Amino acid sequence: MGALTDLDLSALWVSVRLATVTVIVLLIVGTPLAWWLAHTRSRIRPVIEAMVALPIVLPPTVLGFYILVALGPYGPLGRLADFSLAFTFTGLVIASVFYSVPFVIQPLQSAFEAVGTAPLEAAWSLRASRWDAFLTVISPIALRGYISAIVLGFAHTMGEFGVVLMVGGSIPGETRVLSTTIFEHVEVMEYAQAHAISAFMLAFSFLVLLAVYVTNRRFPIHVS
Amino acid sequence: MSRLLARFDVRFPTFHLNVDLDVPVSGITAIFGPSGSGKTTLLRCLAGLERAPNGFMQFGNDVWQDEKMGSCLPLYKRPIGYVFQEPRLFPHYNVRANLLYGYHRISSGERRIAIEQVVEILGIGHLLERHIHKLSGGEQQRVAIGRALLTSPKLLLLDEPLASLDIQRKQELLPFILRLRQDLAIPVIYVSHAISEILQLSDRVALLKDGTLAGVGSLSEVLTSLKFRGGFGSHRVGAILDAHVARHEPQYGLTQLEFSGQHLFVPLHPSAIGQSVRVHILSSDVSLAIGKSNAPTSVLNVLAATVQEIREIDHSSVEILLDIGAPLVAGITRKSLVLLGLKPGDRVFAHIKTVALNEEITD
């Protein structure tokens, strides 16, 4: 990695921080939402599911544009914060959360659907409160779903480009992430550095996915 | 004696449960009925897993649900042990951790049932360190029962705990359930659609049919109830006949009944002539003969019958489904079947040793 400059390393650090914070936020917000989606009989469920899946098909620039408007000084989120969140790390986190929603919600939802309500009812019958049952029975059984959600959410946030560029710009140390760094390097014909970071991203993404598939094999959860 | 009172009226898209249950809290109470009659739903309402909109439930002096007051105690706050149709063991724990899951969640003062006791009764001592997926179906269900018992429940709800097991495993598990009653004195509500289980286990029966209670009472009471005909099957009932009083023979102490052109003698009955009565015949009280109807016999009730179907019961006995203008089942030996050379379509005579009127039936 000798080709990496300090600027590249700071971009790596921003990327990692961004992905970590995004995944934590999504796990907190996404767990109840995924649980609801897995168990509700509500008629608006498909509407919510479609909204959750939207970032998969939407051009990142579209999503980025709307978030940029919302975060700006006259947008709802910007007013809430009393200053423009655009081109800040916080703004980037908000954008990433929206952008990576499906990658966290969908594995969790599938996992919760697979677990079903049977173990939950069994836990209740053994004096476990709702929280207790969720923490000691549901989440361990849904562990694979959580691993998938964390890994995919993290990797997807690491790899985002369009939204980041729209919402964050590429301010070094603040909103410049690895993917935008590659773009910057190519712009000024620094192919060696672009190669290094691209190769790193390629290897990283592959290893992450490999880890997901290996864990799915290695730790089969036996649901009787 | 304390009682369990429950009133539920719940409508589902395809099904309406409407019960008003009042049974003593002791022994084994069976909720019995055909598949789809609402047994599991009733049990789930009792546990608080389904919340009946206008429901009421009282266990002894404790009101667990009173929707008029807007109250419904969640399952985890009720002293109930629940064993589901499937074992529902926690796959990420071994047997011991499964057993202790509920045990650790009650205060030490509430622990009336010891681990050693449960392990001994259920015979699961050698399984404690095993993983759940290495257990057979019967072993899993025993662990599930043990896990529920270790919460020292005041009421144990069993939802067809034997349904997923083969016959041999069922016979293995039945004695364990009987020991619960004898050794631990926990009141049990036992859901089943298998009459053999009911006959072996229960002290009283609540018969559920299409979401409503068709009858509640002691086993013998309910077995003799006409309402049982639909759900009872042919296990012991030979026939349930709607007849009317044809004439009385007070000099012999007999009353003659008539149904579908056939006649039956029963002990002198107070009903007026023409009045309808319903009689039970146990399949074991029916024997068969071929030949003339006027062949001398001391049996009064000899009915012309046609063999409809022959059903093997076990190595030595068979059941013959007869048409006497109504279905009649005769339980005879396989040897008799061979000696008489019976086959479907044959015309025979059914000799009925005892005809019981509805109110005279005892188990």
Full pLDDT tens readout for chain B, 363 residues: 799 999 999 998 888 999 999 999 988 899 988 888 899 999 999 999 999 998 999 999 999 999 999 999 999 999 999 999 999 999 999 999 999 999 999 999 999 989 998 998 888 999 999 999 999 888 999 999 999 999 999 999 999 988 877 777 777 777 778 777 778 889 999 998 876 677 667 778 898 888 998 888 766 556 544 345 444 443 566 666 778 899 999 999 999 999 888 889 988 888 888 887 767 788 788 888 887 656 677 888 888 899 988 877 778 888 888 888 877 888 889 999 999 899 999 999 988 887 766 443 333
A136 chain-B contacts, CB cut-off 8 A: 101
Chain B residues contacting A, CB < 8 Å? Answer: 47, 49, 74-76, 80-82, 84, 86-92, 101-102, 105-106, 131-133, 140, 147-148, 151
Residue of A nearest to B77 (CA): A127
- Buried/exposed code over B226-254 (b: 16+ C-beta within 10 A; e: otherwise): eebeebbeeebbbbbbebebeebeeeeee
The distance of A122 to chain B (nearest Cα, Å) reads 7
Contact A118 B105 (CB under 8 A): no
B92 chain-A contacts, CB cut-off 8 A: 140-141, 143, 221
Residue of B nearest to A139 (CA): B92
Helix (H) or strand (E) holding B304: strand B301-312
Beta strands in B67-187 (DSSP E): 71-72, 80-83, 155-159
Which positions 119-138 of A are in contact with B (Cβ < 8 Å)? Answer: 119, 121-130, 132-133, 136-137
B158 chain-A contacts, CB cut-off 8 A: none
Contact B133 A224 (CB under 8 A): yes
Q: Angle A17-A20-A25 (CA atoms, 0-180°, nearest 5)?
A: 120
CB under 8 Å to A207, separation ≥6 — which residues?
none
Q: Is B338 exposed, middle or buried (0-12, 13-18, 19+ CB in 10 A)?
A: exposed
A126 chain-B contacts, CB cut-off 8 A: 76, 101-102, 105, 147-148, 151
Contact A223 B91 (CB under 8 A): yes
Optimal mutation site among B105, B131, B135, B149, interface A, most CBs of chain A within 10 A: B105
Q: pLDDT digit string (tens) for A27-69?
A: 999 999 999 999 999 999 999 999 999 999 999 989 999 988 8
Under 8 Å between Cβ of B205 and B30:
yes
As given in the structure block, the two tokens for residue A41 are 């009989």
CA distance B22 to B28: 14
CA distance B76 to B241: 48
pLDDT computed for residue A76 by the predictor? 81
ipTM for the whole complex: 0.78
Residue of A nearest to B151 (CA): A126
The DSSP output letter for A4 is -
Residue of A nearest to B148 (CA): A126
Residue of A nearest to B93 (CA): A137
CB under 8 Å to B262, separation ≥6 — which residues?
B303, B304, B324, B325
**Which residue in the set A128, A133, A221 is minimally distant from B91, CB to CB?**
A221
**Which residue in the set B92, B140, B147 is minimally distant from A126, CB to CB?**
B147
Contact A125 B47 (CB under 8 A): yes
3-state secondary structure of B244: strand
Residues of chain A with pLDDT under 50: 1, 221-224
Q: Which residue has the tokens 């009393």?
A: A82
B82 chain-A contacts, CB cut-off 8 A: 121-122, 125
